[in-house]
Amino acid sequence: MKTDDIFYDKDADLSKLEGKTVAILGYGSQGHAHALNLKDSGVEVVVGLRPDSSSRPKAEEAGLEVLDIAEAASRGDIVMVLLPDEKQAEVWDTEISDGIAEGNLLLFAHGFSIHFEQILPPPGVDVGMVAPKGPGHLVRRQYEEGHGVPCLMAVHQDAGGEAPALVLAYAAGIGGGRAAIIETTFKDECETDLFGEQAVLCGGASELVRAGFETLVEAGYDPRLAYFECLHELKLIADLMYEKGIQGMRYSISNTAEYGDMTRGKRVIGEESRAAMKEILSEIQSGEFAKEWIAENRAGGENLARMREEGVGHPTEEVGKDLRDMMPWIDQKF
């Protein structure tokens, strides 16, 4: 494994953040974790929220100073944008950009807005990324337990020569340096993230589950059995892969399952699926996907709402709800 682009706490200098105010815009999954971890690391933090935001009391109860977005953007020497990716450009135009002065560091946790040029920061401003490879609650919990979640870092614009050290200090401040901070580019983070969620984690996995479920149900099998075999047990397999990789998972399953896996899997994900993956990747690389997603949002998100509605009607939903009710250990809160 390449190691010259991996950093740890020993490589980061948190004193780079001394005397600076970090403004965290948004207090959702990532926002609350970054704000609280930085505060506990001794960094001066303010949080920027909409006046009517339901997160206001939560942030205030946690001892954080909460300002309106524009006020926070202007107060921060370092401004981390933790708003939904599809909203960032609009909020940048209306509330953030005026507050970003020369010498400030503008940060993101995902490359979308910068890589697809939805936000064009002025020259003279440092632009970087700190992207934890885990959801916010994990970033917070790991920090509280004395550990950290690995982070990707990148520098898009280095106006004064200090950007890499500042970005690294921020990543260490949220706990990333206790695990590993891996340097990359906005382009690579953004394109691989989109590809992973479309082809494998979300798009690929959902359709694989549905196709398997439908195959069994159409062949006359009990939908409850189909649900258990094709959806419910996916977690067991994913947990094994997460903990030990594919070979480790194969070691833990039965020999019968392992033999079936190795002789049948390539027939399910064959040449056609691999060709589709390449096509999906090239739509990401060319900007075609980004263009489509931005247009969808500009048009009010009608297709997104319709597809959500259609998804609710899928037979896995109804049978799944009944079966999950029988398994009280499953946390059904979203």
Task: State the residues that interact with ligand NAD by CB under 6 A.
Answer: 26-31, 50, 53, 55, 69, 82-85, 87, 91, 109-110, 131-132, 135-136
Nearer to ligand NAD, 143 or 213 (CB): 143
Q: Is 34 a catalytic site residue?
A: no
Count of Cβ atoms closer than 10 Å to residue 192 Cβ = 15
| Minimum gap (Å) between residue 192 Cβ and ligand NAD | 13
Residue 85 binding target from Mg ion, ligand NAD, none, CB below 5 to 8 Å by type: ligand NAD
Residue 27 binding target from ligand NAD, Mg ion, none, CB below 5 to 8 Å by type: ligand NAD
Residue 189 binding target from ligand NAD, Mg ion, none, CB below 5 to 8 Å by type: none
CA 191 vs CA 22, 122, 147, 194, 287: distances in Å: 27, 24, 28, 5, 10
Tokens (6 digits) for 96: 């953030």
284 three-state secondary structure:
helix
Measured at CB, which residue is nearest to ligand NAD? 28
Nearer to Mg ion, 95 or 193 (CB): 193
| Minimum gap (Å) between residue 135 Cβ and ligand NAD | 4
Residue 320 binding target from Mg ion, ligand NAD, none, CB below 5 to 8 Å by type: none
Measured at CB, which residue is nearest to Mg ion? 193
Nearer to ligand NAD, 135 or 248 (CB): 135
| Minimum gap (Å) between residue 6 Cβ and ligand NAD | 19
Instruction: Report the first-to-last Cα separation within the chain, whole angstroms.
Output: 37
| Minimum gap (Å) between residue 110 Cβ and ligand NAD | 3
| Minimum gap (Å) between residue 170 Cβ and ligand NAD | 14
CA 8 vs CA 125, 180, 272: distances in Å: 26, 5, 42
Q: Which listed range, 30-38, 140-148, 189-197, 259-267, lies at the site for Mg ion (CB under 5 A)?
A: 189-197
Query: In sequence order, what DSSP letters do the residues of 219-241 get, joined into one string?
Result: TT--HHHHHIIIIITHHHHHHHH
Choice among 32, 110, 115, 156 that is catalytic: 110
297 three-state secondary structure:
helix
The reply to whether 193 sits near Mg ion by the rule CB under 5 A is yes
State how far the Cα of 332 lies from the Cα of 328, in Å rounded to an integer: 9
Nearer to ligand NAD, 196 or 265 (CB): 196
Backbone dihedral region for residue 333 (phi beyond 0: left; psi -120 to 50: alpha; all else: beta): beta
106 three-state secondary structure:
strand
- 147-179: burial string, b at 16+ Cβ within 10 Å, e else: ebbbbbbbbbbbbeeebbbbbbbbbbbbbbbbb
Nearer to Mg ion, 196 or 301 (CB): 196
The catalytic site residues sit at 110
